[in-house]
Amino acid sequence: MYINLLYSVFTGHPRLKLFITHGGALSTQESMFHGIPVLGLPVFGDQVTNMREVERQGWGRVLRCEEITPELLKETMFTVINSEELRAEVKRRSTIMRDIPDDPARVVNFWVDYVIRHKGAPHLRSPILSMSWYQLYNVDVWLTLIGTVFAVVYISVKIILALIRQCCSSRSKSKTD
């Protein structure tokens, strides 16, 4: 939690001009929220896809780890920092992302007042709160499924055993004749 708070503080610093990241979902979202262009160095997993999408959308650049040289890194950093197009696109996306209907503190105040006005707002309570444990955990459904599987297995075993007995008994009769 503390690390995430520091992370948000650093990416939101007004003097930050470039964010170099591995391209994880949270780091790209954080940089978009604060309007900071991205230079991505994806390593594995969703990072490659995330950074490919960032570059396609026009608010960052990607360098593959295999091709990085000090000169290329420096050149790409200056390209991203000095690109008006990248900065404009990430600022546009930041504006869209921050465009919320109301201040979060006012939203919380509204819902607290709403619950008080409606005496606990029982109409908003989840029906799960009044369910018994066997309904909540679908015990009846699981027992039905398990019973069905056991019944199918039991009947199949009985049929197979009957067929084996019939085959064995018909062979033994034909040998004695």
Residue with tokens 């955990």: 137
The alpha carbon of 123 is separated from its chain's Cα centroid by a whole number of angstroms, namely 30
Whole-number pLDDT of residue 2:
45
Q: What does the block give as tokens for 54?
A: 């960032």
Whole-number pLDDT of residue 101:
76
CA gap 35, 40 in Å, rounded:
15
Quote the percentage of the chain above a pLDDT of 70: 89
126 lies in some domain: no
**What confidence tens digit (pLDDT) does each residue in 134-144 have?**
888 999 999 99
We report the CATH number of the domain holding residue 49 as 3.40.50.2000
Whether residues 83 and 20 fall in one domain: yes
Whether residues 93 and 149 fall in one domain: no
Range of weakest confidence among 59-68, 72-81, 93-102: 93-102
CA gap 80, 102 in Å, rounded:
33
Whether residues 67 and 140 fall in one domain: no
Whole-number pLDDT of residue 158:
97
Residue 173 confidence (pLDDT) above 90: no
**What confidence tens digit (pLDDT) does each residue in 101-135 have?**
788 888 899 999 999 999 999 888 888 888 899 88
49 lies in some domain: yes
Mean pLDDT of 85-89: 95
Number of domains into which the chain is organized: 2
Per-residue pLDDT band for 8 (boundaries 50, 70, 90) equals: low
CA gap 68, 74 in Å, rounded:
10
Whether the CB-CB separation of 21 and 41 falls below 8 Å is answered with yes
**What confidence tens digit (pLDDT) does each residue in 72-83 have?**
999 999 999 999
Size of the chain in residues: 177
Whether residues 80 and 141 fall in one domain: no
**Angle formed at CA 16 by CA 28 and CA 39, multiple of 5 degrees:** 40
CA gap 132, 118 in Å, rounded:
26
**pTM: predicted TM-score of the whole model, two decimal places:** 0.56
Q: Which one has a higher pLDDT value, 174 or 72? A: 72
